[in-house]
Amino acid sequence: MFSRTGLFSLLVLVAFSTQANDEATDKSLLERQVNAVASIGVVRHFHPHDGVEAVDWRSVLLEAFALAEDAGSDAEFASGLADLLSPIGTGLQHDAPEDGDIELKEFECESDDPVIRWVHSGFGAPPLAARSGIYASRRSISGVEESVAEVEISNAMKSLSADGLRGRSLKYSAQARLIDGGQAALWLRVDGPESEVLFFDNMHDRLIDSSDWSEHDITLDVPEKAEQILFGVMKLGPEHADFRSIRLRDVNAFDEQEQSLLSDTEKWNLVSPQNGHEMNIELDDDGFAIELVPNALEMQEAAIDRIMPEDAPSHAQIELKDGSTLHVPLVLCQSDSALDESHRHKLAARHGAFDPEALTPAELARLDVATAWPVVRHFYPYQELVDDWAAILQDALQAAALVTDREGHGQVLKRMLVPLEDGHVYVIDNDPSSAIDWAGLPVALSFAEDELFVVNSLEPEHIRIGDRIVSIDEKPTSQWFEDRRPLYSGSPQWQTMRGIRDLVWGDRGQTRALMLERGDELIETVLELESGTILPAHTHDTIREPAEGIIYVDLVAIDEGQLQEVLPRLAEARGVVFDIRGYPGEPAQRILSHLLEQDDDWEDWMRVLVARAPGGDLVEAASFGWTRPADTPHIEAPVAFLTNANAISYPESILGLVKYHGLGTIVGSNTAGSNGNILFLNLPGNFRVSYTGMRVIGPDGEPFQGQGIKPDVEVHPTADGLREGQDEVLERALEVLDRGQ
């Protein structure tokens, strides 16, 4: 017989043992899931067999997760995973610990049977969202010129602010011909807030392939929340292409006499990997004419070097939980990579239909984690910023298991991407039921001395410039921000800016309950998100003269017409202040030409990387710059640029050229520290995530990510200054210009 004490002790011991067993089971399952995601990611993106493009990888992942849960032992799971993946390709080998070292199968190809492998120039394969640019992922054959043509895309492009174009119906049109064959296209894209792609058409289903002149066009209605319109012409492959009569017109106002909205040849930029094409451009009465002339020898040699780098591995090894190894060939003979129709039908039957409605929220979140993680693991261009990729995956899978709704699903994806330290990371819910009608608070906010102040207000009867925000929705302001910081990737200064943006910008009709400190008084107010735009921090005129002979220009707000009008004044001023505390439009890049004494020669600061093998083994594939031309009138006066952490990406490029060429004194605080083309991934759960796809080098020659542009004269707003409504950064810039610093 047990005493009560003895019986209680036994029950505690049993409970503790049961809990320990459950935790061990959960840990074992999690480790198997990590193995499954890692193995599938390598086969999907690096094994060069036709089978990898014949299966629905969502279905493969779901089967692998079921295997991880149902297998009776780790050895059974490992063997089952190898059996699952082997029919999708060829040459996959699985060796158990007791097998010892095995001899890997090398594919020794005959002279008429070329070698094939994946070539990822950046990343351009599913689940990437369709988007034009310089990225491509192809299974390419060494020494075959046709495969080189598939890899290279040269792109002549420009952009316009959407101001004045929202709600209008636009038609982008051109005539084109191909001199030596290949394919070409027009493309048109519209971006909204946070670089959200609102419209995109790159003619992927109707590519141009005629040697005779042919007419092509793209039409759209510009959405109301559009911020930028981007467009261009592109050549797929190394051949010669001609475009003429390139126009962008208002459909509703169209007639034979109507002029194109486009002007000025210098605003077009060419992106051509390894300088494979040169661009000739001119403007006539019928619009633009652009000629893309190939530098075929240089392009082909560089592309072949990337396709088959001499020291690229031939196999990838994945260590499985039971101690065994899965060996995945990265190189095949072309004859070994083919998939016959019978095998194709079998794969499609086994890994075909996918029904997201049949999955629980947790299962769908896990599937999204498993889809996104391999892409950033293998292709994120700043691999050195991440300490432990396996831990990131394990934590994300563990968190996904607890998801019960869309909000939790999105948070799992956000937290998984935070370690990238990338300000371009966003997680967007594309589910129609989650659609947001974006609106803002009637205030602008800024931190000073770790306190949050109102710096602009449309409702001074409720909230005034200089008010300190004590609490937000009954939570101390500092705590409100700290709770959100783990959801934001990027530098600390960018995380703060993201927090402010989330506070003042959201779904229309939402409210924010604020406790304000005004002098010795505490005031409670509730504000509604109802404004159509985010209120700027300052109410300066776009162009003004804050001191005698010194011209201030807000590059975030100025349009092309205003720039043309003010240029003569800038050329005669005794000093110029350019404000770039935010995201500017085209005139900001154009102004560089009027500051340069010679054409810009900084050519290699944007770099596309090739993945030689899984695991972030990246090498440089192409590099380029803006190569801005010098222009008149030349601005001779001393120049100051104002900036802060609101400047991210494109404005950091502008400031990088300012630093590199010494075009002015940068005043303010560190920029956000994220630059390079953004890639968007479409995930099975109807989320879209973004990250930086290009490696950018700063003006000091060091990688840019997380560093940003450091000011020459550092100025941080003070609490007293914000209470008084001062713009202390501008005031210091005026002092710098007056003193000639």
DSSP E strand boundaries for 256-331: 269-271, 277-284, 287-294, 315-319, 325-329
Whether 533 is in a domain gets the answer no
Indicate the average pLDDT of the chain. Answer: 86
CB 705 within 8 A of CB 664: no
The percent of residues above 90 in pLDDT, for the chain, comes to 54
Whether 207 is in a domain gets the answer yes
Q: Are residues 579 and 699 in the same domain?
A: yes
Q: What is the CA radius of gyration of the chain?
A: 28
Question: What residues pair up with 141 in beta bridges, in sequence order?
Answer: 116
The pTM of this model reads: 0.79
Length of the chain: 741
Q: Are residues 319 and 295 in the same domain?
A: no
Residue of 218 and 298 predicted with greater confidence: 218
Q: What sign results for the dihedral spanned by CA atoms 352, 355, 356, 362?
A: negative
CB 381 within 8 A of CB 693: yes
Whether 338 is in a domain gets the answer yes
pLDDT band at 273 (very low <50, low <70, confident <90, very high): low
Q: Is the pLDDT of residue 18 over 60?
A: no
C-alpha to C-alpha distance for 574 and 570, rounded to whole angstroms = 8
DSSP E strand boundaries for 398-476: 426-429, 438-440, 443-448, 451-457, 468-472, 475-476
pLDDT of residue 145: 34
Q: Is the pLDDT of residue 504 over 90?
A: yes
We report the CATH number of the domain holding residue 519 as 2.30.42.10
C-alpha to C-alpha distance for 298 and 559, rounded to whole angstroms = 39
C-alpha to C-alpha distance for 611 and 588, rounded to whole angstroms = 34
Any idea which of 189-198, 405-414, 482-491 has the lowest mean pLDDT?
Answer: 189-198
C-alpha to C-alpha distance for 547 and 348, rounded to whole angstroms = 71
Residue of 193 and 599 predicted with greater confidence: 599
Pairing mode, strands 639-643 and 575-579? parallel
Show the CA angle centred on residue 251, arms to residues 588 and 286, nearest 5°.
Answer: 70
Question: What residues pair up with 110 in beta bridges, in sequence order?
Answer: none
Q: Are residues 260 and 287 in the same domain?
A: yes
Last residue of a domain, one of 467, 493, 528: 528
Q: Are residues 253 and 328 in the same domain?
A: no
CB 385 within 8 A of CB 706: yes
**527-566: pLDDT as tens digits:** 999 988 888 888 889 999 999 999 999 999 998 889 999 9
Q: How many CB atoms neighbour CB 330 within 10 A?
A: 19
DSSP E strand boundaries for 165-211: 169-178, 183-191, 197-201
Q: Are residues 47 and 163 in the same domain?
A: no
pLDDT band at 436 (very low <50, low <70, confident <90, very high): confident
Whether 396 is in a domain gets the answer no
Last residue of a domain, one of 276, 304, 332: 304
C-alpha to C-alpha distance for 594 and 568, rounded to whole angstroms = 11
Residue of 225 and 440 predicted with greater confidence: 440
Closest by CA position to 430, among listed 413, 449, 442, 417: 413
Q: Which residues contact 701 (CB under 8 A, 6 or more apart)?
A: none
C-alpha to C-alpha distance for 136 and 116, rounded to whole angstroms = 16
- In order of 365, 414, 667, 675, the CA distances from 671 in angstroms are 33, 22, 11, 10
Q: Is the pLDDT of residue 455 over 80?
A: yes
Q: Are residues 95 and 239 in the same domain?
A: no
pLDDT of residue 13: 47
CB 613 within 8 A of CB 316: yes
Whether 474 is in a domain gets the answer yes
Q: Are residues 233 and 163 in the same domain?
A: yes
Find which of 432-436, 602-606, 683-687 is predicted with most confidence, using mean pLDDT. Answer: 683-687
Show the CA angle centred on residue 386, arms to residues 384 and 389, nearest 5°.
Answer: 125
Show the CA angle centred on residue 148, arms to residues 142 and 150, nearest 5°.
Answer: 125
Q: Is the pLDDT of residue 101 over 70?
A: no
Question: What residues pair up with 290 in beta bridges, in sequence order?
Answer: 243, 281
pLDDT of residue 258: 53
Q: Is the pLDDT of residue 654 over 90?
A: yes
At 199, give phi and psi (nearest 5°): -155, 140
Whether 395 is in a domain gets the answer no
Q: Are residues 591 and 668 in the same domain?
A: yes
Question: What residues pair up with 575 in beta bridges, in sequence order?
Answer: 550
Tokens encoding 154: 């040269």
3-state secondary structure 542-555: CEEEEECCEEEEEC
Residue range(s) defining the domain that contains residue 47: 23-106+314-354
Q: Is the pLDDT of residue 42 over 70?
A: yes
pLDDT of residue 281: 84
Q: Are residues 612 and 687 in the same domain?
A: yes
Closest by CA position to 519, among listed 458, 448, 466: 466
Any idea which of 28-42, 236-250, 445-459, 567-581 has the lowest mean pLDDT?
Answer: 236-250
Q: Are residues 202 and 149 in the same domain?
A: yes
Last residue of a domain, one of 263, 279, 304: 304
Residue of 87 and 250 predicted with greater confidence: 87
pLDDT of residue 80: 96
Closest by CA position to 601, among listed 630, 633, 631: 630
Q: Are residues 224 and 328 in the same domain?
A: no
Closest by CA position to 504, among listed 557, 451, 458, 466: 458
Q: Is the pLDDT of residue 2 over 70?
A: no
Residue of 158 and 373 predicted with greater confidence: 373
pLDDT of residue 150: 39
Find which of 155-159, 233-237, 345-349, 674-678 is predicted with most confidence, using mean pLDDT. Answer: 674-678
pLDDT of residue 256: 42
Element (H, E) at 517: strand 511-518
C-alpha to C-alpha distance for 117 and 239, rounded to whole angstroms = 24
| Burial degree of 556 (CB within 10 A; 0-12, 13-18, 19+) | buried
| Helix, strand, coil content of the chain in percent (nearest 5) | 35, 30, 40
Residue of 342 and 499 predicted with greater confidence: 499
pLDDT of residue 432: 87
Whether 214 is in a domain gets the answer yes
Question: Helix 4-46 crosses helix 74-85 at what angle (to 10 degrees)?
Answer: 20
Whether 628 is in a domain gets the answer yes
**57-82: pLDDT as tens digits:** 999 999 999 999 999 999 999 999 99
Mean pLDDT of 214-233: 88
Q: Are residues 47 and 170 in the same domain?
A: no
pLDDT band at 484 (very low <50, low <70, confident <90, very high): very high
pLDDT band at 191 (very low <50, low <70, confident <90, very high): confident
Alpha helices in 402-487 (DSSP H): 406-417, 477-484
We report the CATH number of the domain holding residue 644 as 3.90.226.10
Any idea which of 31-40, 204-213, 610-619, 676-685 has the lowest mean pLDDT?
Answer: 204-213
Q: Is the pLDDT of residue 304 over 50?
A: no
* Number of domains forming the structure of the chain: 4
